[in-house]
Structure 1
Amino acid sequence: MPSLKRDPRTPVLIALVLTMALVAMDTTIVATAIPQVVEDLGGIDQVGWVFSVYLLAQTVTIPIYGKLADLYGRKPILVFGVVVFLAGSALSAASWNMLALIGFRALQGLGAGSIGATVNTVAGDLYTVQERGRVQGYLSSVWGISAVIAPGVGGLFAQYASWRWIFLINLPLGALALVLILRGLHEDVPRHKHRIDYAGASLVLLSVGLLILGLLEGGSTWAWDSVGSITTFAGAIIAGVAAAFVERRAAEPMLPTWLWTRRLTLATFAATATAGMIVIGLSVYLPNWGQQVLHLSPVAAGFVMATMSMTWPVSSALSSHLYLRVGFRDTALLGAGLATVAGVWLSFLGPDSAVWRPVLGTAVMGAGMGLIFTPLIVGLQGTVGWSERGTITGGTMFARFLGQSLGAAAYGAAFNAGMQAHADASPALRVHESTHVVFLGLLAVAVLTCVLLALAVPRHFPAYDS
């Protein structure tokens, strides 16, 4: 394996890490400064949309960008995404009211979708199967580092400068990434006329957008059994059926039917989605439990969660040694087993637990996540050629984000039910009992991931024969 110092691919890898950092830092750095944003712009009743519209725009566009990267090459799609993200960042910094900020955050999300779809595709293009575990470790470490430093950076800007700097900081990082991409990423893309599947793309965006919107807003903006909720999900189903009808007849479908009809891809997407559910549940509820129940400071509670982000990239980098010996499916199954062990451990946490216990649980969970996500995405990338790698990578990333949206909805409902069931208890005990229900949910989803991997995902990922 070549040294990073002598490897001509290193500048592009640095650019991929920088672009991933733009997306990884965004949510946590913005969340820290929300009180100052509201104080300056007002619109506290709309603040939830600052996050929801970004996640919505990012998630729904990932599979579209993945297909476009196969048609026109990774470089133009990635450059476009970074430019759009930076434009959204600059405009967000210039926002004059909350509605403007929400609109510009949507623009940021459109750029983030391109980054999410193409960064891992470029890594798959540049590196061999033997090397991709190490590279995925680098990319995964970005999320861990961001989880630790982004809240502090956001707090410093909000307290000593202006919340607008949380968006302006993206500009020099993105500019450096653009220079490295433009200078270092070279592709030989066959040039011929394509028949863009505009109808299919529109229906996919509509279906997925309504689904994510329903998951994000259900139980908060409207009740799950309300007319608004039912109408939203019904619209998602109708648009989805229409999209499937159109895609089967399109010359170059935006979402080829083989993504959903092949057992390998469908089952792997499902396992990726359930793993995404695990990540969001722990990320959202463990820090709050640490503060409300163990009475940790926000910083200490954040570091408890950060242990998962530290073990994740390590196990991701080491996963290649496993998947080259026992295969992609069995490596992911080992990761799901670790996630199950962590779920059991977290389920036995009590209101008087020592801090090392949740730290250990999150460390084991992080190791499990690295062994799940990396083998699955690397394995799928190896089953197709260059012309389909963007599509299959985009599908994998979409499944992960969709799982996070599903998890946010499911755990939110479980947590709220727990709060209502223990309405007469002390505040700390209410939070503990409600979070305990979430931990049990994490355990159930981890077991489900094991079952999916063992029974639905084929043991062998057939290598693409060019």
Structure 2
Amino acid sequence: MSKAIDSPALSQSPTLEGADDERKSALATLPSSDAPSSQANKPPAGPPGPMQQDPSLILQGKKLAVVFTAMLLALFLISLDQTVLSTALPRIASDFNAFDKQGWCSSAFVLTQTAFILWFGQFLRIYSAKWTLIGCIIVFEIGSILCAAAPNVMALIWGRAISGVGAAGMFVSMIQLMATITRLEDRPKLFGAFGGVFGISSVIGPLAGGGLTDHAGWRWVFWLNLCVGAPAILGCTFLLKSSLPIGADPTKRSPRDLLHQTLRMDWIGATLVLGAVTALVYALQTGGNQKPWSDGGVIACFVVAGVLCVAIFFWMRFKGDTALVPPAVFRKSPASICGICGASFFNRCSLLMISYAIPVFFQVTRHHDATKSGLDLLAYMLSVVITVIGAGRVVSATGRYWYFLVGAPVLGAVGAGLLYTVTPSTSTAKIIGYQILCGVGTGATLQNSLFAMQAEFRNEMRLVAQATGVASFSQFLGGTVSLAIEQAALSTQLAKNFPIYAPQAPLAIIKESPLEIYSLPSDIIPSAIFAYVKSLKIVFVIPVAYYGLGIISALFITNISIKPPSAAKGDAKDAEEGKVAPVEESKEKAEGDVAKGVAEGEVARSEGV
């Protein structure tokens, strides 16, 4: 069976003479029809080139299912950690008497995870994805142990930062492994399962965190990570096959060579990215909360972040291929790559903002506690999970992901617009329906934006880890920015509406916990609820803009089909009749007779194997 999806030779636009030589060379390696069958079954000499996927590493069937299960367990560890903490944070802040540092318990994790995503993309050009994944799980667990045994809030924050570094490496390693052990056309449904794990953990996490905090103590929220991490390490150790990084020189793998390559990594670029993300997160975390936006320190952080971003741009251009993000990543198809980054950023923004707003709405209007309001989010998260898995299967079957990226956000925008209209008297059934619309709009795009990046670099495998790291960086940065915008926008609206509709209510206390509304005198409660819901509308209308910007970004993404040619599904009968699978992409057909000759040579070679 021919597995040729896109010929690497075509992506390099050969000259007439070069193409002819390559075609002759390819045909020369083929066994003649009169040759013995043992010769026909002989594999070609030499490893695949740095641009190609090694077919010997591709897994299918039961082997893939077992290995993928181990990877899902590692992914569940990351996603559960991010959601299980939400219900434990108030108790942690109370025990340490550190309400002013409560936000940093979450932000420290997000900060290091976002900042180190790009660094691990370059790291994986040197080291095996399998052992990087295992090492990062261990780093993650070290951070969890530090959090569980933390004597004070600063130790806990440092533990969260260490766990964030491990989470960044785990995520990028799994993306790299996916590109190594799976076929391009199989990845959408596997990416869908990744998204499903995130959605399931969003439902389980708050419930598990609340239960552990209430009955065993908040420290067990972090000890739980060890229970999940141990089988993940064992599974990855014994089930995953170690392989060279894509494009690595097998003759330069001695400890001295690896040390030399590590020292040549873009450490300055990594430092600039860490500084820019830290300055941005600090400004967003403190601005509008602990300090006004006009505060000199907040403004200075924004300025520093902007200056560092400019410095990063010029530094990457100066470093070239050895940069943290090689310019080649954006040079291939600048508009499409920027479109993928934009879609990743805005889709993540809408996901987190709606995830935050819906539980708060039910706490305010229905007097639901934190655990029950988490269940109120079930319709949204289940629709995200079901859609992300379903969309992945559809993309695997049809070979097209672009239509989801452009069309699905329309449903999300409609759902968010309908949520903007809700009032305290709106029925729960209607709100569930609106949540489902938002969930479908989010789920169909959540993983497809990452897959779009892998499709762009399907013939340049050595850049897959760094390119996908750029898309992942955009996603995590979107989550960080959206939550900061949500908190600032809601805080501004509360300060505006409470003096008008509920001037007697203690706004400072209500901002810390919406449920404090129900501790007010009974005659003030209705007006306080009205003021809060009116303020919350801004949090529902902003995702409409996010979905719209996501659509605009997706329009710039190249519409690539990842489905193999129908003739490539062919059988031995096709080969005997001399039929050759056509190259799928229309633009590659347009390369003319030269490209056609190269393509035929590539397909013939694959059939000869």
Task: Give the shorter-chain TM-score range.
Answer: over 0.9
Could you say which residue in structure 2 is the equivalent of 1:397? 472
The amino acid across from 1:266 in the alignment is C
In structure 1, how many angstroms separate the alpha carbons of the residues matched to 2:553 and 2:468?
A: 20
Deviation at 1:260, TM superposition (A): 4.5
The amino acid across from 1:284 in the alignment is Y
Query: How does the TM-score come out when normalised to structure 1?
Result: 0.92
User: Over residues 388-430 of structure 1, what are the superposed CA-to-partner deviations in whole Å (9 max), with x where a residue is unaligned?
Assistant: 1111121111111111122122222221222122123222112
- Aligned sequence identity (%): 24
What does 1:24-173 align with in structure 2 at a 5 Å threshold? 24-173=79-228
Stretch of structure 1 that moved more, 108-117 or 207-216: 207-216
Could you say which residue in structure 2 is the equivalent of 1:331? 404
Decide whether aligned partners of structure 1 residues 155 and 436 sit closer, same or farther in structure 2, where only a CA change above 3 A counts: same
Contact 1:216–1:405 under 8 Å retained in 2: no
Deviation at 1:343, TM superposition (A): 1.7
2:290 pairs with 1:218:
no
Could you say which residue in structure 1 is the equivalent of 2:388? 316
Deviation at 1:308, TM superposition (A): 2.1
Could you say which residue in structure 2 is the equivalent of 1:228? 297
What does 1:263-302 align with in structure 2 at a 5 Å threshold? 263-302=335-374
In structure 1, how many angstroms separate the alpha carbons of the residues matched to 2:495 and 2:359?
A: 21
Query: How does the TM-score come out when normalised to structure 2?
Result: 0.72
Contact 1:308–1:362 under 8 Å retained in 2: yes
Could you say which residue in structure 2 is the equivalent of 1:373? 446
Q: Which consecutive unaligned segments of at least 5 residues does structure 1 have?
A: none
In structure 2, how many angstroms separate the alpha carbons of the residues matched to 1:433 and 1:116?
A: 39
What does 1:172-251 align with in structure 2 at a 5 Å threshold? 172-189=227-244, 190=248, 191=250, 192=252, 193=257, 194=261, 195-250=264-319, 251=321
Residue in structure 1 matching 2:323, options 234, 253, 261: 253
Could you say which residue in structure 2 is the equivalent of 1:452? 553
What does 1:7-18 align with in structure 2 at a 5 Å threshold? 7-18=62-73
Contact 1:345–1:361 under 8 Å retained in 2: yes
Please state which structure has a larger fraction of its residues in helix. 1
Instruction: Provide the secondary structure at the position in 2 that maps to 1:188.
Output: coil
Residue in structure 1 matching 2:543, options 431, 439, 442: 442
Could you say which residue in structure 1 is the equivalent of 2:22? none
Deviation at 1:153, TM superposition (A): 1.9
In structure 2, how many angstroms separate the alpha carbons of the residues matched to 1:377 and 1:60?
A: 18
The amino acid across from 1:144 in the alignment is G
In structure 2, how many angstroms separate the alpha carbons of the residues matched to 1:66 and 1:361?
A: 38
In structure 2, how many angstroms separate the alpha carbons of the residues matched to 1:205 and 1:298?
A: 34
Residue in structure 2 matching 1:387, options 447, 462, 465: 462
Instruction: Provide the secondary structure at the position in 2 that maps to 1:350.
Output: coil
Contact 2:137–2:170 under 8 Å retained in 1: yes
User: Over residues 29-60 of structure 1, what are the superposed CA-to-partner deviations in whole Å (9 max), with x where a residue is unaligned?
Assistant: 22222343234433333222111111111111
The amino acid across from 1:245 in the alignment is F
Instruction: Provide the secondary structure at the position in 2 that maps to 1:162.
Output: coil
Q: Which consecutive unaligned segments of at least 5 residues does structure 2 have?
A: 1-58, 502-526, 563-584, 589-598, 603-609
Deviation at 1:310, TM superposition (A): 1.3
2:486 pairs with 1:411:
yes
